[in-house]
Structure 1
Amino acid sequence: MSGDQHFTTRDGCRIAYRLDGPDNRPVLVLSNSIATNLHMWDRSAPALSRSFRLLRYDTRGHGGSDAPVGAYSMDRLGRDMVELLDALAIDRANFLGLSLGGFIGQWLGIFAPERIDRLILSNTASHLASELPFDDQIRAVLAASDMDGIADGFMRNWFPATMLATPNEIVDAFRNMVLTTPPRGLAGCYAALRDVDLRRAISLIAAPTLVIGGESDTVTRASHSEAIAATIAHAKLVLLSGVHILNVEQADRFNSEVLSFLQPAP
């Protein structure tokens, strides 16, 4: 395991990243949900790094990355990823993004197809602005005296009630990620989600694509996953029993689906 490192994007934003796993294996990028950081994949890394060189990074506005003031765009979040690949001299990679990371994956599949081998879009959507009040959420996070109430809301959206009913170290770790996310970083990414609509453009994605959805996800619902899989040619759809953070809630099944998709039988 290497420690976190940084590179600087062309617009001057420092992005934290880390590489794990054998140097001689194909690269698999892991892209985090909003209000988390690269440690949301800590429980996935041991299984996935046996077969892949894992590249994890903190999305702009999160974790150890800078959080510039103002609205971000999905175009900028996507280019952060392309510039990171450039900085590491990685021509092509597999990409797994969950939630916000799944939006970034869709952007890459559309606008940087030459950089993506296989694409996995987990618990995500192509458009949410008509369903979620992002402007209200931006005002609320920038006005909040602390992140406790916002963290409570994320936990209810991310995990089943059974995991929230009693003390749970996984939930505590994710709650702490929300509490340590800079409000302006969360607001900036809310703006990117508010302003993006990829519903038609994802029909251009040519990379082999796996779409994973949670049957009980209340934010990026199973119907969103179904719509993505129906629009991308030859996409495979897998719905798991669970809510939003399926890489944790259904860790073994999630890792199994990911690995079997990335390593198809010859």
Structure 2
Amino acid sequence: MTGGRTDLGRISLKCRVDGNEGKDWLILSNSLGATMAMWDDQIPALAARYQVLRYDTRGHGGSDAPQGPYSFADLTGDVLALMDHFGIDRAAFMGLSMGGMTGLGLAIDHPDRVARVICADGRADAPEGFRSMWDARIDRVQTGGLAAIVDGTVESWLTEEWRAANPTRVAAIAQMVQSNNPEGYIACCLALKELDYLKRLPQAGVPILYVGGDQDRGAAPEVMQAMADATPGGVYRQIAGAAHVANINAPEAYLAAIADFLDL
């Protein structure tokens, strides 16, 4: 394992590499409000097959939070810069929510750099109700900081049953959310508000697997199925007993859903 802050010139991102040199690369991208720690449950299985690069998205964790707003061109550009820094010509990519949307941008605009993409619990567009939700979220953070949205975030990420059974994990996840930079969080919200990949999904140049929790309200099953239907060869796999952050909420089922696609 290696890790630390990586200076990419225009921005420094905190990242970590797990797995042995010489293996194929897999890049992991976090959701809004999370850090790379959200993937901890999956790392043992993934690092047995891949050299795994994960990073804190700009505005999150230990990465820089340059002045916003951000765009998905910024977010995909950060991934490409990391790949260039580590000498990665092409990699598999897996992201959840905002990270999955970043993966869609790579599949559409940079298919030469990604071999395959998993978009977990993500959307591809921002209809009016979605946009107004981000306006309300931004207002709450501007008024009360990340503490103002942490309870609602945790409730949307994880089922009520899981939260009741895992109070220590819930507390750690809440702390992770509040560890981020409020201005960086808002800048990412502004990127999400302008999300507009749905009409371009037919242009995706690499295989895409969509996975999502059956209780996900942010990226509902019918939304993700429609995304898969719009993607050449796209497949959607639903994860039972999971809300928006399915890889934490149902880690074993999540791993089973992605295993064939990633040749684990």
Does TM, scored on the shorter chain, surpass 0.5?
Answer: yes
* TM-score under structure 2 length normalisation: 0.94
The aligned counterpart of 2:250 is: 250
How many Å separate the matches in 2 of 1:238 and 1:167?
25
Give runs of aligned pairs for residues 46-125 of structure 1, distance below 5 A. Answer: 46-125=44-123
The amino acid that maps onto 2:256 is S
Higher mean displacement: 103-112 or 244-253: 244-253
How many Å separate the matches in 1 of 2:50 and 2:166?
33
Asked if the contact 2:140/2:148 (under 8 Å) is kept, the reply is: no
Alignment deviations for residues 167-224 of structure 1 (CA, whole Å, 9 cap, x no partner): 5222222211111111101100000001121111111112111110111101111112
How many Å separate the matches in 1 of 2:123 and 2:104?
9
Query: Which secondary structure state, in structure 2, belongs to the residue aligned with residue 42 of structure 1?
Result: helix
Asked if the contact 2:6/2:12 (under 8 Å) is kept, the reply is: yes
Structure with greater helix share of residues: 2
Percent identical: 32
Query: Which secondary structure state, in structure 2, belongs to the residue aligned with residue 91 of structure 1?
Result: coil
The aligned counterpart of 1:210 is: 209
**Runs of 4+ more than 6 Å apart:** none
The 3 A distance-change label for structure 1 pair 124 and 213 is: same
Q: Residue 14 of structure 1: CA displacement?
A: 1.2
The aligned counterpart of 1:224 is: 223
Asked if the contact 2:213/2:238 (under 8 Å) is kept, the reply is: yes
Alignment deviations for residues 110-150 of structure 1 (CA, whole Å, 9 cap, x no partner): 11110010111100000134222222222221221x43231
Asked if the contact 1:31/1:57 (under 8 Å) is kept, the reply is: yes
- Give the gaps of 5 or more residues in structure 2: none
Alignment deviations for residues 64-96 of structure 1 (CA, whole Å, 9 cap, x no partner): 101112210111111111111011110000000
The amino acid that maps onto 1:173 is A
Query: Which secondary structure state, in structure 2, belongs to the residue aligned with residue 101 of structure 1?
Result: helix
The aligned counterpart of 2:178 is: 179
Q: Residue 255 of structure 1: CA displacement?
A: 1.4
How many Å separate the matches in 2 of 1:47 and 1:102?
20
After superposition, the CA RMSD in angstroms is: 1.4
The aligned counterpart of 1:189 is: 188
How many Å separate the matches in 1 of 2:138 and 2:40?
28
* TM-score under structure 1 length normalisation: 0.94
Query: Which secondary structure state, in structure 2, belongs to the residue aligned with residue 211 of structure 1?
Result: strand
The amino acid that maps onto 1:260 is D
The 3 A distance-change label for structure 1 pair 167 and 193 is: same
1:262 and 2:262 matched: yes
The 3 A distance-change label for structure 1 pair 178 and 206 is: same
Query: Which secondary structure state, in structure 1, belongs to the residue aligned with residue 41 of structure 2?
Result: coil
How many Å separate the matches in 2 of 1:84 and 1:2?
14
The aligned counterpart of 2:3 is: 3
The amino acid that maps onto 1:210 is L
How many Å separate the matches in 1 of 2:151 and 2:247?
20
Q: Residue 237 of structure 1: CA displacement?
A: 1.3
The aligned counterpart of 1:36 is: 34
